[in-house]
Amino acid sequence: MRRLLFIALGLLSLSLSAQEAHLTADANFLTRGEVRAGGLPSSDSFDPKTAAFILERTLFGAGYDKAGLSSRITAQHSGTWGSSESKSFNIYEAWVQFRSKGGTFVKIGRQNLSYDDQRIFGADNWAMTAMSHDVLKAGYEGHGHKIHLFAAYNQNLSGLNGDDYFTGGIQPYKNMEAAWYHYDIPKTKLGASLLFMNVGMQGGDKGVNPEVFYQQLFGTYLTYKPKYLVAEAACYFQKGREENGLPLDAWMLSGKVTAKPSSQWSVYIGYDHLSGDEYFATPPKGQIGVTQHKVVKGFSSLYGSHHKFYGAMDFFYVTTYVNGFTPGLQNAFIGARWTPKEKYFVDASYHFLAIATKLEAADSPLGHEVEFSAGVNLGKEARLSTGYSFMRGTKTMEILKKTSGERELHWGWLMLTVTPRFTR
C-alpha cells in the first residue's frame, strides 16, 4: 500500500503546475515503550506482574491544495513490536474540500473532527489508532464567526441485501448529525463555542427487530485569555435514549485555570465532574438478580481525546468499570509546567479521583494519582518524551476496576515522535 501511495504521489506531481497548485507529503512515526506494574486484569485471576511492550504507529499522508480546492489521503499502520495479532492497517484520512472566497466550504470523506479542548470531538493522538469519521461537513468561517454542520451515515457491506443493522466500523454509531458554532467576542479575551449533536445508536435484535435509538448532546465551551491567565469552562448535557433503549439523563461540568507568572512557568488547577449511576444498567427486558435502571445517568464523553483528561493512566473513559458500570467521576487536579527553553518541558501534577454517586458497597474515593512528564525537541522534526505515573487506589477502585489487590499502580513510558514533511 505504501508503494502505491508513493507511485500515486509521483504521477500526481507530474500533472501539476507549480504555479497553480501545491502538493505536500508528510509522515508521522511514533514509537512508545511502556512498563506497567499493577493495573487492569485480563481475567478474573489477576496476577499483578510487571508488563513491558513497545507500540508503534505510522502515518503517511499526501495533500493537494489550490484555489478553492484541497484534498488529502493518509494511510495508518499500528501494532505492537513482534506481534502479528494486533497489527492493523487502514485509511485514516481521505477527503476533498471545496472553498469559496466568501468563507463557505464543503468537506466530504474520512476526516478527523477536533473541536475546542477535544473533550467531545478529538484526534486522540495518544492512541495507536488516530480517530476519524466518515462525514459530510459544510460551514462558514469569517469575521470572528465559525459554524460547522456535519452528518454521517454508516452501513455494513451486508446492507446491500437489505439488512440495515450496523455493527463495528471506525465509529460505533449508525448515524450522527452535529452543529458547532464559535465566536471570538471583539475587544475582549472571551471566546465561546456551542455544540449540538444527535447520535443514532443501533439497538434491538439483529435481523429480527433492529432499531436505532437516538441520544442528544448539547453544551458550551468557554475561554477567557487575559494577559498571564487562561480560564476554561465546559458544560454538556445528554438526553434521549442509549443503545439499549433506556432513557438517558446525564451531564458533565469542568473548569480549569492556568496562570503564567513568567515565560518559563505555568501553574494550573481544575475540576471535572461527570454524572454517574448508582446501579448496574440492564436492558429494558431486565436481568435476574440485578436492579434495573429506569434512567441511565452515566455521562459518555463520546469521541474525544480521552487520554488528555481524567489522569494519564487511562483508567476512566478509555477502559470501563466492571460490566460497563458507570458511577461517574470527580477529578480534582493541580499541576505546574516548566519550560526553561523552547525545546524543553517538564510537567508535574496531582489528581484526586472519586466516583460521582453514592454506592452502598463502597466509599466515593477511588485514589490519588501523581504524574510526571518531560520532553525535548531533537530538531524541528523529532521529539523525545517520557513520563511516569503512580496511583494509590482505594478499596472502591479495587472493586469497580478489579485492580491489583496491592492497590499500588505504576506506569512508565518513553516515546519518540518523528514528523518529516516534504513540499513541492
In a domain, 85, yes or no: yes
Same domain? 58 vs 11: yes
Grid cell 519518540 — which residue? 416
Percent of all residues in the chain with a pLDDT value above 90, rounded to a whole number: 55
Same domain? 171 vs 75: no
pLDDT band with cut points at 50, 70 and 90 for residue 77: very high
Closest CA to 93 of 119, 123, 57, 69: 123
Same domain? 43 vs 69: yes
**Mean of per-residue pLDDT scores for the chain:** 85
Longest pairwise C-alpha distance within the chain:
72
- How many residues in the chain? 424
Final residue of a structural domain among 277, 309, 341: 309
Q: Please count the structural domains in the chain.
A: 2
pLDDT band with cut points at 50, 70 and 90 for residue 38: low
What is the distance between the alpha carbons of residues 36 and 54, in angstroms, rounded to a whole number?
12
Same domain? 92 vs 106: no
pLDDT of residue 393: 85
pLDDT band with cut points at 50, 70 and 90 for residue 45: very low
Which carries the bigger pLDDT value, residue 357 or residue 255?
A: 255
Closest CA to 410 of 48, 31, 45: 48
pLDDT at 48 over 60: no
The answer to whether 317 and 306 have CB atoms below 8 angstroms apart is: yes
- Give the sign of the dihedral formed by CA 35, CA 92, CA 104, CA 16: positive
Same domain? 128 vs 40: no
pLDDT of residue 8: 41
Query: Average pLDDT of 121-130?
Result: 87
In a domain, 288, yes or no: no
Same domain? 146 vs 256: yes
Query: Average pLDDT of 289-318?
Result: 81
Same domain? 139 vs 258: yes
pLDDT at 159 over 80: no
Q: For the stretch 48-83, what's the b/e string if a residue is b when 16 or more beta carbons lie within 10 angstroms of its beta carbon?
A: beeeeeebbbbbbbbbbeeeeebbbbbbbbbbeeee
pLDDT of residue 43: 47
Same domain? 69 vs 214: no
Provide the residue range defining the domain that includes 92.
Answer: 1-99+311-424
pLDDT of residue 369: 94
Same domain? 127 vs 222: yes
Lowest mean pLDDT among 45-54, 93-102, 173-182, 216-225: 45-54
The answer to whether 331 and 351 have CB atoms below 8 angstroms apart is: yes
Query: Average pLDDT of 146-163?
Result: 84
Which carries the bigger pLDDT value, residue 346 or residue 364?
A: 346
Same domain? 16 vs 105: no
Which carries the bigger pLDDT value, residue 330 or residue 49?
A: 330
Which carries the bigger pLDDT value, residue 89 or residue 13?
A: 89
Final residue of a structural domain among 309, 335, 366: 309
pLDDT tens for 254-286 read 999 999 999 899 999 999 999 998 865 554 454
Query: Average pLDDT of 323-342?
Result: 88
Same domain? 83 vs 62: yes
Final residue of a structural domain among 309, 330, 346: 309
pLDDT band with cut points at 50, 70 and 90 for residue 197: very high
Query: Average pLDDT of 68-96?
Result: 90
